[in-house]
Structure 1
C-alpha cells in the first residue's frame, strides 16, 4: 500500500510550498513531476522520476512498488488550470484500491501575481491561453480585470497588438514572468509598450479595463452599425432572431448572408467563448463586416468571403446557423448544415411569402423537426413637427427549426418520463 499525494507546489520554489506539502515531500520515497519542479524541490539523494503526463505518472507509480510515500508534483494550485483533473482519472484506473491518495493545494499564479501587484483578485475573470482557445478581447470588454496564463514567448505581444487594433489603448497591462523564481520579472504599462515584447514562456498577464461594457442583452441600436447601403436586419427582428437561436456562451454560429454584420456582431457578443463565422459574397458588405468587427471588438467573429454552401465546407462544425440571405441556394445550404451537424438549430428570416413557402417545403423534405414560425411586425415612431407618428416596417417571418436528431432526444425524454410515470406536459411546464 502506498500513500500518494498530488501536490500543488505553488510558484515552484521550496519557499512557496505549504508546510504540509513540504513535510510530505521531505518524507517521500519518490518524487514525480516535470524536471524543473524536481530540480527546485527535491532533497539530496531523493529518488525522482521526470514524468508529467497522467498515464506516464500512473505507470511510474506502478513501476515503483517499493515506494510507500509518493509525491506527484503539479505547478501552481491543483485546482487552477491544472493537469491534476486528468491525473485523478489516470490514478483511478490503477489496480491498487488500497493506495491512499491525498490532494494538497498550492498557491495559484493569479493569487501570487495579484499579491505582488497589490491588486485584489476576488473580481478577476480567470482564463488560460496555455494550449487553450480563449476570446481574451471579449472577456476584457466585459470585465474590469482579466487574468490569463500564457504558453508562448510571443503571446503577450500578440494580445497587446490586438488591444491596439481594437482601439483599447486605455487598458493597463501587467505581465509576470517566471513568478517565484530568482529571474522573476513583473512589468506594467499600456498595450503599445508591449507590442513587440518577447516574454518568457512561463508568463501570465493581467489586463485592467476602466471602460467595461456591461450590456448583456441583445438589441444593439441600428444606428450604431456601419452599414452604407447594405441591407441590415433591424433591431427588433434581430432581438427575436438571436433569441430564437438560443445561443450558449460557447456556440459555433454560421451567419449566412451576413450583410453588414448586425446579426454576426450580436451573436458574437452572446457567444463570447464560441465562434461566429460571417459568410458574405458582396465585397462592399465584406468591408463593412471588417469595420463592424473592429468597432464592436468581436475578436471571436471570423469573416468568410464567399458563397454558401461552398464557403461552409472547410469551416468547423456549427451548433447554430442564421440564414439572412441564401442567394437561391437554401436547400443546398440546409443539406450542408445537416451533414455537418444533424442536431443543428437554425433560424431563417424571410420577407416574401414565396421565401416562406420555399423554406417550409424544404424543411418538410429534410430531416428537421416541426418548425416554429413567428411573424414580426414592427412600427417605429417618427417625429412630425410637434407630433410623433408610427411608421410600419415590412413584416418579417422568423422560422426556427432543429435537426431531427435534436427532436429525437426530446422524444426519448418523453418516453423516459412515461416509463417512470412522470407527467411529461407537467414536467415541461415546470422545467
Structure 2
C-alpha cells in the first residue's frame, strides 16, 4: 500500500491525556494539523509544533483543495472519537482512497455511552442529527427501542424531547451524556415530556422508547394504513401499495423515481425499507406536491426529494434512477418512454394503471418489451342493510419490467 499520506487521529473529550502513544507520535511528527478548532485546542503547543488549520464551513466541498495544498507535507487530521464512525475518516477515504490514510481510532462517543448505560451494541439503533433532519428519529421509534442520537449541539436534547412529545412518545426515558471521557463528564436523566433546558454542546442523547396511550406506531413492512398520509384521494391504497412495493423490490443504496407521486406514499415507503434507500417524488399538482414533505417527515424519511413539475419535462436533470415507479401520467406523450430510457441495465420499472386508456399503454409496453402484467382488485366489507357485503375497488393493472444488458427503452 505504500506510506500513508495522511494520519487520521481520533481524539476524545479527555484530549491529549487520553491518546495512546501511536496517536501522540503521529501528531508530534505532523507538519500540518487539520481539524475543528475545539479539537486543535486540545493539543499542547510544546509537543505538537505543526501548523494548525481549522476546517472551513462548509467542509466537504473544500476538502479536495485543502488536501492538494498540503500534499507534499506530513499531515494529521483530528477527528472526534472513532474517525470511521460518522466521522471525517470515511469522507477522506472517499476522496483520497483508503490506501492513502493511516487511521488511528479512539473510542467513539457511542461506545462510551453504551459502556456507561450497560447497553449492548446489538440492542441499540444509532442516529446522527449533525447536519441531518431531526425527523429521521421518527423512523426508528418503536416500543422498547433503545436509541443513541449524536447531537448537533447544546439544543439537540430539547429538540429531540419536543419531537418525541409531538410524536406521541413523551413518556420515553432520556439520558443526556455530556463530555464523555473527560474529567467533568456528566449525565442527566429524565423523560421527554419533562425535559427542560440545554446541555453541554458535546453530548449524546440516549432514548428508551415508551409510547403514550393510544399511540399507534407504523409497522416495518410496506402497506401502511391509508390514514398515515394526508391526501386528497390521490393515494395508492394500502393493499395495492404493498403489492407495488414488492414489485419495486427496494435495495439498499438504490434511487427511485416516483413519477406522479400524489401523496408521496410509494417514495416514502421505499425510503422506509432501508436507511440508504433514496427517492425523488415528481408531482405536477402544487397542493399535492406541498403535502409530500410533511408526509415524509411524519413517517421519518425527511430526505425524500420533491420535484414539482410535469413529466417528462420535470425528469430532465435528475440523477439517473435505479428503479422507476409511474403512478400517474401514463397517457401523457413521452412519459413512459422517458422513464424507460433513463434506466440503466438491470434497472427496474413498475407502472400502475386504473383507467382503460392507461391500461392500454401498459398492454402495448408489455407487448413490446415483455415483463410481467398483474391485475389486483381489493374488496372491502361494508354494511348492506343489517348485514355486510363486499364492495370492490377499481382493479389496478401493474406492469413490471427489468432492463437487460443491451436492451433499449
TM surpasses 0.5: yes
Where do residues 21-420 of structure 1 align in structure 2 (5 Å cutoff)? 21=22, 24=25, 29-30=29-30, 32-34=33-35, 36-42=38-44, 44-50=46-52, 62-63=72-73, 73-85=78-90, 90=96, 104-116=104-116, 119-131=119-131, 136-141=136-141, 144-151=145-152, 159=160, 162-163=163-164, 165-181=166-182, 186-189=187-190, 200=201, 202-211=202-211, 213=217, 215-222=219-226, 224-225=227-228, 230-280=233-283, 296-301=299-304, 307-309=310-312, 312=315, 318-326=321-329, 328-329=331-332, 331-337=333-339, 342=344, 345-361=348-364, 370-379=370-379, 392-402=392-402, 406-408=403-405
Question: In the aligned structure 2, how far is the partner of 1:292 from the partner of 1:93?
Answer: 43
Aligned residues: CA RMSD: 4.9
The answer to whether the Cα contact below 8 Å between 2:372 and 2:400 also exists between their aligned partners in 1 is yes
- Give the structure-2-normalised TM-score: 0.70
Question: In the aligned structure 1, how far is the partner of 2:282 from the partner of 2:148?
Answer: 32
The answer to whether the Cα contact below 8 Å between 1:373 and 1:398 also exists between their aligned partners in 2 is yes
Displacement after TM superposition at 1:348 (Å) = 1.3
User: Gapped runs of 5+ residues in structure 1?
Assistant: 65-69, 95-100, 412-431
When residues 342 and 218 of structure 1 are mapped into structure 2, their CA distance, relative to the original with a 3 A threshold, is: same
Displacement after TM superposition at 1:399 (Å) = 0.8
User: Gapped runs of 5+ residues in structure 2?
Assistant: 56-62
The answer to whether the Cα contact below 8 Å between 1:264 and 1:301 also exists between their aligned partners in 2 is yes
Moved more, 225-234 or 370-379: 225-234
Displacement after TM superposition at 1:410 (Å) = 9.0
The answer to whether the Cα contact below 8 Å between 2:176 and 2:203 also exists between their aligned partners in 1 is yes
When residues 295 and 41 of structure 1 are mapped into structure 2, their CA distance, relative to the original with a 3 A threshold, is: closer
Question: In the aligned structure 2, how far is the partner of 1:213 from the partner of 1:11?
Answer: 37
Q: Secondary structure at the match of 1:40?
A: coil
Moved more, 50-59 or 132-141: 50-59
Displacement after TM superposition at 1:108 (Å) = 0.8
The answer to whether the Cα contact below 8 Å between 2:262 and 2:288 also exists between their aligned partners in 1 is yes
The answer to whether the Cα contact below 8 Å between 1:257 and 1:326 also exists between their aligned partners in 2 is yes
Q: Secondary structure at the match of 1:47?
A: coil
Count of matched residue positions in the alignment of Structure 1 and Structure 2: 389
- Give the structure-1-normalised TM-score: 0.67
